Amino acid sequence: MLKIDHLTKTYGEKKAVDDLSLHIHPGEIFGFIGHNGAGKTTTLKACCGILRFDSGDILVDGVSIREQPLACKQKIAYIPDNPDLYEFLTGIQYLNFIGDIYKVPVREREERIARYSEALELKDDLGQKINAYSHGMKQKLAVISALIHTPRLLMMDEPFVGLDPKAAHTLKEIMRDFCEQGGAIFFSTHVLEVAEKLCDKVAIIRGGRLVIAGDTETVRGDTSLEEVFLELEDEHA
């Protein structure tokens, strides 16, 4: 579903991502872990086609995001760590705007908006302007908007930050459901307990380079992801 092939991205002299290769298959929840500044956001943005990269390639369902960005973007959704929404719109206006962009038939989008806004308890707030939303409410709106066009690949940057425990629980259910229906999820997180419980696979990067990747159980071994992460940090410090 998503193939990152020898991705390298530099900002001036700084190599933010260095020869990174990863493969995310349909049905997988894939967690992306790394210290602050490790290169997670850079990788996610490159995978969404919103950040050019120096070398390597990124394929969505076998199609290069470099060569056919529009075809790829029809299949993906991205939720950034700080969703930049159009604050002057109401929640429902924003969702309909996204539905229009992706040409989602009205009946289908209404059904999805109702389902996800009820699950995330945002339904009663959809008539309010986004500038009156809290951070968590904006995060919920971004989640709903990401699911309107039924993407095949969902990418998220720190999706649990700002969500209350119930919303976080609901999001995990939505993520599992999404993958059970054949979608794939690639997301970054610093919450290693969540990654350990939720992810089929994880990858840890440090200084833009892949340190370890594989099945969560294999990477964790007899310890915990937290211990593995801290040990690897010490080894590579």
State the residues that interact with ligand ATP by CB under 6 A. Answer: 11, 14, 16, 34, 36-42
Q: Which is nearer to ligand ATP, 43 or 145 (CB)?
A: 43
Smallest gap from residue 33 Cβ to ligand ATP (A): 9
Q: What is the CA radius of gyration of the chain?
A: 18
Smallest gap from residue 81 Cβ to ligand ATP (A): 6
CB within 8 Å of 197: residues ≥ 6 apart: none
Q: Which is nearer to ligand ATP, 11 or 88 (CB)?
A: 11
CA-CA distance, 7 to 145, in Å (whole number)?
Answer: 28
CA-CA distance, 89 to 84, in Å (whole number)?
Answer: 12
Q: Which is nearer to ligand ATP, 6 or 166 (CB)?
A: 6
What 3-state DSSP class applies to 7? Answer: strand
Residue identified by tokens 């929840």 is: 29
Q: Which is nearer to ligand ATP, 39 or 91 (CB)?
A: 39
Sign for the pseudo-dihedral over CA of 194, 199, 201, 203: negative
- Any bridge partners for residue 187, and if so which? 31, 156
Smallest gap from residue 42 Cβ to ligand ATP (A): 3
What 3-state DSSP class applies to 125? Answer: helix
Q: Which is nearer to ligand ATP, 16 or 47 (CB)?
A: 16
Sign for the pseudo-dihedral over CA of 46, 52, 55, 57: positive
HSE of 229, CA atoms in CB hemisphere, 13 A = 21
Q: Which is nearer to ligand ATP, 51 or 92 (CB)?
A: 51
Smallest gap from residue 221 Cβ to ligand ATP (A): 24
Smallest gap from residue 14 Cβ to ligand ATP (A): 5
CA-CA distance, 149 to 103, in Å (whole number)?
Answer: 8
Smallest gap from residue 51 Cβ to ligand ATP (A): 9
